[in-house]
């Protein structure tokens, strides 16, 4: 049942135009709540905005600021070490690891720390995230190399050594963006421009230079050379833009994945790979590019109840990595090293990464190597 708010209209005292205008203002409260209140909140937000005027602080001043907000340094020696960390890491980068230890006020994160919070806790969380990022990046590298290999192998056996120069095997895609605009994705032109840039480098890769000095034609090197100098995003877009579904099927089949799930996972992997490459905070991040759901697997270890997992949390992504490694590197020590990392940093909150309470009993971590 919809509540409404009406306005009494005295037709006798109003002209037809005035009556129509008055009738226009008979609002349904549900309409007001959906369309008007959010705008009011936005207006209030802008009304509360102010000029940024925080001055830069010296490293010593940064330590004193942390102390004034309740952060505990166990000794003068630790304060001196903290200054060194601030010199090499930066206050701003470390501030992301301070948030779980901050007080909350009115649903917002306050400046002050929770009682008893120490510098050691914050720096330990930073070290945990760094080691986790390195572990995941190492696994992605193995998967990325295998993806390059399969793209080259599958397509070169169908279309020859220079398939990347054949426009007919690709399709031009159009994608509707969140603002309603349309993005045209022409992967053929994109990779051709990239290859051209690589060929014109002042100091190209050794194998590119050898090709240029040895062969007169074709202008571009064969695919197994070209793909080596492509970025991960090119691999993802090549798979997504193949004109024949069978071409994508053959690549995805190597990894025991349906084509749509395979391309979705590539997209997410490219996103997380970039986070790792830029040393960004990873452990409790919401993954912006949500990977597709794999409901079950007959051949590989997989989550026992994947539909219950939050696919924007790191736990699902780690399960993805483990799934792919079972094809790419069956003897991988990834899950064993992951568990060792949690033992080393026992205070790291696994729930913030989406790990369930029984994660050690989950199929992801059985038969650890």
Q: Do both 300 and 189 map to the same domain?
A: yes
Q: Do both 254 and 360 map to the same domain?
A: yes
Measured CA to CA, the distance from residue 33 to residue 47 in angstroms comes to 20
Q: Do both 161 and 110 map to the same domain?
A: no
User: What is the value of pTM for the model shown?
Assistant: 0.82
- State the pLDDT at residue 327: 96
| Residue 32 near residue 4 (C-beta atoms within 8 A) | no
The answer to the question of residue 20 being in a domain is yes
The answer to the question of residue 123 being in a domain is no
- State the pLDDT at residue 360: 79
pLDDT tens-digit readout, 232-285: 999 999 999 999 999 999 999 999 999 999 999 999 999 999 999 999 999 999
- State the pLDDT at residue 141: 97
Three-state SS at 118: strand
- State the pLDDT at residue 35: 39
Q: Quick one: which H or E segment has residue 1?
A: none
* Burial annotation 142-158 (CB, 10 A radius, 16+ → b, else e): bbbebbbebbbebbbee
- State the pLDDT at residue 225: 97
The answer to the question of residue 75 being in a domain is yes
Q: Do both 197 and 234 map to the same domain?
A: yes
Band the pLDDT of 362: cuts 50, 70, 90: confident
Q: Do both 154 and 113 map to the same domain?
A: no
Q: Do both 150 and 228 map to the same domain?
A: yes
Q: Which of 9-23, 137-151, 262-276 has the lowest mean pLDDT?
A: 9-23
The answer to the question of residue 133 being in a domain is yes
The answer to the question of residue 253 being in a domain is yes
Residue 205, CA distances (Å) to 153, 195, 202, 209, 225 in order: 21, 12, 10, 6, 10
Q: Which of 15-19, 126-130, 148-152, 190-194 has the lowest mean pLDDT?
A: 15-19
- State the pLDDT at residue 50: 85
Say yes or no to pLDDT of 324 above 80. yes
Of 75, 94, 117, the domain-final residue: 117
Say yes or no to pLDDT of 296 above 80. yes
Q: What is the mean pLDDT of the chain?
A: 87
Q: Do both 141 and 19 map to the same domain?
A: no
| Domain total in the chain | 3
Measured CA to CA, the distance from residue 255 to residue 309 in angstroms comes to 22
Q: Do both 79 and 212 map to the same domain?
A: no
Say yes or no to pLDDT of 224 above 80. yes
pLDDT tens-digit readout, 331-356: 999 999 999 999 999 999 999 999 99
Which single residue is written with the structure tokens 């995230």?
Answer: 129
pLDDT tens-digit readout, 20-72: 444 444 334 333 333 343 444 444 455 578 898 989 999 999 999 999 999 99
Q: Do both 230 and 324 map to the same domain?
A: yes
* Burial annotation 210-246 (CB, 10 A radius, 16+ → b, else e): ebeeeeeeeebbbbebbbebbebbbbbbbbbbbeeee
Band the pLDDT of 125: cuts 50, 70, 90: very high
Cβ neighbours for 364, distance < 8 A, ≥ 6 positions apart: 301, 303, 318, 319, 322, 335
Band the pLDDT of 363: cuts 50, 70, 90: low
The answer to the question of residue 1 being in a domain is no
Beta strand residue intervals within the chain, DSSP E: 102-105, 108-113, 173-176, 182-185
Say yes or no to pLDDT of 9 above 90. no
| Distance linking the first and last C-alpha atoms of the chain | 59
Look up residue 304 and give its DSSP letter: S
The answer to the question of residue 361 being in a domain is yes
Residues of the chain above pLDDT 90, percent: 74
Look up residue 220 and give its DSSP letter: S
Residue 200, CA distances (Å) to 193, 204, 216, 321, 336 in order: 11, 7, 15, 36, 44
Measured CA to CA, the distance from residue 333 to residue 331 in angstroms comes to 6
The answer to the question of residue 3 being in a domain is no
Which residue range forms the structural domain that includes residue 292?
Answer: 128-365
Which residue has better confidence, 6 or 64?
Answer: 64
Say yes or no to pLDDT of 162 above 80. yes
Three-state SS at 4: strand
- State the pLDDT at residue 314: 96
- State the pLDDT at residue 24: 40
Q: Round the CA-based radius of gyration of the chain to a whole number and report it.
A: 28
Band the pLDDT of 322: cuts 50, 70, 90: very high
Q: Do both 109 and 132 map to the same domain?
A: no
Q: Do both 252 and 361 map to the same domain?
A: yes
Top mean-pLDDT range of 2-6, 185-189, 361-365: 185-189
Which residue has better confidence, 174 or 86?
Answer: 86
Measured CA to CA, the distance from residue 54 to residue 75 in angstroms comes to 28
- State the pLDDT at residue 365: 55
User: How many Cβ atoms sit within 10 Å of the Cβ of residue 126?
Assistant: 19
Band the pLDDT of 177: cuts 50, 70, 90: confident
Say yes or no to pLDDT of 179 above 90. no
Q: Do both 283 and 324 map to the same domain?
A: yes
């Amino acid at each position: 049942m919809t509540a409404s708010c009406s306005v009494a209209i005295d037709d006798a005292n109003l002209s037809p135009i005035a009556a129509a205008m008055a009738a226009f203002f008979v609002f349904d409260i549900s309409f007001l709540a959906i369309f008007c209140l959010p705008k009011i909140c936005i207006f209030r937000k802008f009304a509360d905005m102010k000029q940024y005027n925080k001055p830069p602080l010296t490293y010593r001043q940064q330590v004193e600021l942390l102390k004034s907000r309740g952060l505990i340094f166990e000794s003068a020696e630790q304060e001196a070490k903290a200054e060194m960390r601030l010199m090499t890491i930066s206050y701003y980068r470390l501030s992301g690891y301070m948030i779980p230890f901050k007080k909350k006020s009115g649903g917002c994160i306050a400046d002050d720390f929770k009682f008893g919070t120490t510098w050691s806790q914050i720096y330990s969380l930073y070290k945990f995230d760094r080691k986790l990022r390195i572990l995941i990046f190492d696994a992605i590298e193995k998967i990325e190399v295998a993806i390059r290999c399969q793209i080259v192998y599958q397509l070169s056996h169908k279309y020859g050594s220079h398939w990347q120069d054949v426009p007919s095997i690709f399709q031009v895609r159009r994608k509707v963006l969140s603002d309603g605009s349309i993005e045209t994705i022409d992967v053929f032109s994109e990779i051709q421009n990239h290859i051209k840039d690589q060929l014109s480098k002042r100091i190209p890769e050794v194998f590119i230079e050898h090709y240029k000095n040895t062969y007169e034609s074709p202008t571009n090197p064969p695919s197994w050379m070209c793909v080596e100098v492509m970025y991960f995003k090119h691999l993802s877009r090549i798979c997504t833009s193949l004109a024949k579904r069978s071409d994508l099927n053959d690549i995805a089949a190597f990894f025991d994945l349906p084509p749509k799930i395979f391309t979705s996972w590539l997209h997410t992997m490219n996103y997380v790979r970039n986070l790792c490459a830029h040393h960004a905070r990873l452990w409790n991040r919401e993954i912006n590019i949500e990977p597709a759901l794999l409901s079950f697997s007959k051949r590989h270890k997989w989550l026992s109840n994947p539909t219950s997992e939050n696919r924007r949390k790191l736990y699902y992504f780690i399960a993805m990595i483990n799934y792919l490694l079972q094809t790419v590197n069956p003897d991988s020590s990834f899950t064993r090293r992951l568990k060792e990392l949690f033992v080393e940093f026992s205070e790291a909150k696994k729930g913030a990464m989406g790990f369930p309470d029984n994660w050690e009993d989950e199929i992801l971590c059985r038969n650890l190597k």
